[in-house]
C-alpha cells in the first residue's frame, strides 16, 4: 500500500481540484493522509466534505502551524503504507501517477524512485502527452553528481520512497528549515540509496500561483535554508569531489533566484549573510561554464545582481 501524504495550509481555493486528481488514480491501494498544519481558512472543511463522498480511505491529522516539512514528518509517523508519496495540496497528478511509480519501485527493487514533472498555469490536467517511459537507474555516486550539476529538474512530490528506508536511515525533513528543506531531503535519499530509479514520464503537475511558498519566501527563510545546507554538508559523509561544491552551488542558485524578485538592498543583505562573494568564487573550477562565469562576476554584489536579473 502507498501512503499519500498531503500537508494542508490555507489552500481553500485549490484543494478540491488536487484531491480530485488523487481520488481518480488508476491505482487504488493507497491511503490518503491530510496533515492540517494549522490552517485558518476553510481548507479542511472543503477537503472533508469532498472526501466523505469518496470511497478512499482517508484521515485528517491536525497540528499547530509548523511548516510543510514538519507536516510531512507527521505524515510519515502516521502512515501505514509500505511506500510514501508526498503531494502538495494545490498540485495535480496524472491518473497513472501512483500506478507507474509503484510498479517501477517494486519491479526495480529500489528504495527511491521519481518521475518527471511539468509546471501548469491553472489547475487543469494537461492533455495526454507522449511519454517514452524510459527508466534510468543510477548509482548513488552518479545521481549525486547529476543532482549537483543540475542535470535534471526535480521535486520531492514526484518521488516514491520506501518507508522503512526513511526510518532506518533517519531521513526526515528539518523542522527548523523552511526553505530548501526538500533539497536536503533529496540529498540524503541519494546519499543512502545504492540505486535510484528515474522514470522519464511527466506524471506530476506543479501549479505555480501567487500564493505558493516558493514565491513568498522571505530573507529569514532563505537564511534558514543556507544554514540547513551548511549543517548537512558538515554532518554527512558525501564524496569529497561533490561535498566541496554543495554549499557554493546552492548559494549560487539561491542568489540567482532571489535576484529575480528582490530589491537590491535585500539581495545585498542576503549576499553578505550567505558569504556570497567567497562561496561563489569557489565555483571557478566547477564543471559548468555559467557557474564559472558567475564566480568571476560575484566579486561585486551589484554586478552579480544586474547580470542575474537580466538572464532568463
Residue 130, pLDDT score: 55
| Residues 139 and 29 placed together within one structural domain of the fold | yes
| Helical spans, DSSP H, in 110-239 | 140-148, 163-168, 181-192, 219-235
212 falls within a domain: no
| Residues 227 and 104 placed together within one structural domain of the fold | no
| Residues 77 and 34 placed together within one structural domain of the fold | yes
Q: State which residues form the domain around 283.
A: 217-310
Q: What separation in angstroms does the CA of 62 have from each of 28, 55, 117, 174?
A: 25, 22, 29, 19
| Residues 185 and 302 placed together within one structural domain of the fold | no
Tally of structural domains, the chain: 2
| Residues 92 and 133 placed together within one structural domain of the fold | yes
96 falls within a domain: yes
Place of cell 509500505: 82
| Residues 44 and 189 placed together within one structural domain of the fold | yes
Query: What's 104's domain CATH number?
Result: 3.90.550.10
What pLDDT, in 10s, does the model give residues 161-209?
999 999 999 999 998 898 999 999 999 999 999 999 999 999 999 998 7
Measured CA to CA, the distance from residue 147 to residue 263 in angstroms comes to 29
Contact 8, 44 (CB under 8 A): yes
Beta bridge partners of 125: none
| Residues 247 and 142 placed together within one structural domain of the fold | no
137 falls within a domain: yes
| Residues 121 and 232 placed together within one structural domain of the fold | no
| Residues 16 and 151 placed together within one structural domain of the fold | yes
Beta bridge partners of 15: none
Last residue of a domain, one of 207, 226, 243: 207
| Residues 96 and 184 placed together within one structural domain of the fold | yes
Task: Report DSSP state, residue 216.
Answer: G
163 falls within a domain: yes
What pLDDT, in 10s, does the model give residues 1-58?
999 999 999 999 999 999 999 999 999 999 999 999 999 999 999 999 999 999 999 9
Contact 87, 7 (CB under 8 A): no
| Residues 186 and 233 placed together within one structural domain of the fold | no
Measured CA to CA, the distance from residue 102 to residue 15 in angstroms comes to 24
Last residue of a domain, one of 207, 229, 251: 207
Last residue of a domain, one of 183, 207, 231: 207
Measured CA to CA, the distance from residue 183 to residue 228 in angstroms comes to 10
133 falls within a domain: yes
Classify residue 52 as exposed, middle or buried by CB count within 10 Å of its CB (0-12, 13-18, 19+): exposed
CB neighbour list of residue 166: distance below 8 Å, 6 or more residues apart: 76, 84, 172
| Residues 142 and 75 placed together within one structural domain of the fold | yes
What pLDDT, in 10s, does the model give residues 65-105?
999 999 999 999 999 999 999 999 999 999 999 999 999 99
60 falls within a domain: yes
Cell output for 162: 520506501
Amino acid at each position: 500500500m502507498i501512503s499519500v501524504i498531503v500537508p494542508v495550509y490555507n489552500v481553500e481555493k485549490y484543494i478540491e481540484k488536487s484531491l480530485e486528481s488523487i481520488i481518480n488514480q488508476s491505482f487504488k491501494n493507497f491511503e490518503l493522509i491530510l496533515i492540517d498544519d494549522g490552517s485558518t481558512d476553510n481548507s479542511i472543511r472543503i477537503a472533508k466534505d469532498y472526501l466523505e463522498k469518496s470511497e478512499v480511505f482517508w484521515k485528517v491529522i491536525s497540528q499547530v502551524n509548523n511548516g510543510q516539512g514538519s507536516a510531512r514528518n507527521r505524515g510519515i509517523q502516521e502512515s501505514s503504507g509500505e511506500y510514501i508519496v508526498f503531494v502538495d495540496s494545490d498540485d495535480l497528478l496524472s491518473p497513472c501517477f501512483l500506478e507507474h511509480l509503484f510498479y517501477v519501485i517494486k519491479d526495480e527493487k529500489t528504495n527511491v524512485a521519481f518521475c518527471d514533472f511539468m509546471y501548469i498555469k491553472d489547475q487543469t490536467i494537461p492533455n495526454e502527452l507522449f511519454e517514452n517511459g524510459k527508466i534510468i537507474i543510477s548509482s548513488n555516486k552518479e545521481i549525486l553528481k547529476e543532482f549537483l550539476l543540475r542535470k535534471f529538474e526535480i521535486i520531492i512530490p514526484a518521488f516514491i520512497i520506501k518507508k522503512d528506508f526513511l526510518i532506518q536511515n533517519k531521513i526526515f525533513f528539518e523542522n527548523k528549515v523552511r526553505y530548501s528543506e526538500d533539497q536536503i531531503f533529496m540529498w540524503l535519499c541519494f546519499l543512502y540509496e545504492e540505486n535510484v530509479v528515474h522514470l522519464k514520464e511527466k506524471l506530476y503537475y506543479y501549479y505555480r500561483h501567487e500564493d505558493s511558498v516558493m514565491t513568498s519566501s522571505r530573507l529569514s527563510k532563505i537564511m534558514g535554508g543556507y544554514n540547513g545546507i551548511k549543517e548537512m554538508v558538515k554532518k554527512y559523509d558525501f564524496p569529497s569531489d561533490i561535498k566541496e561544491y554543495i554549499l557554493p552551488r546552492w548559494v549560487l542558485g539561491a542568489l540567482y533566484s532571489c535576484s529575480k524578485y528582490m530589491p537590491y538592498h535585500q539581495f545585498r543583505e542576503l549576499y553578505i549573510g550567505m558569504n556570497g562573494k567567497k562561496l561563489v568564487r569557489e565555483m571557478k573550477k566547477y564543471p559548468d561554464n555559467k557557474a564559472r562565469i558567475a564566480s568571476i562576476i560575484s566579486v561585486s554584489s551589484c554586478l552579480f545582481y544586474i547580470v542575474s536579473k537580466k538572464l532568463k
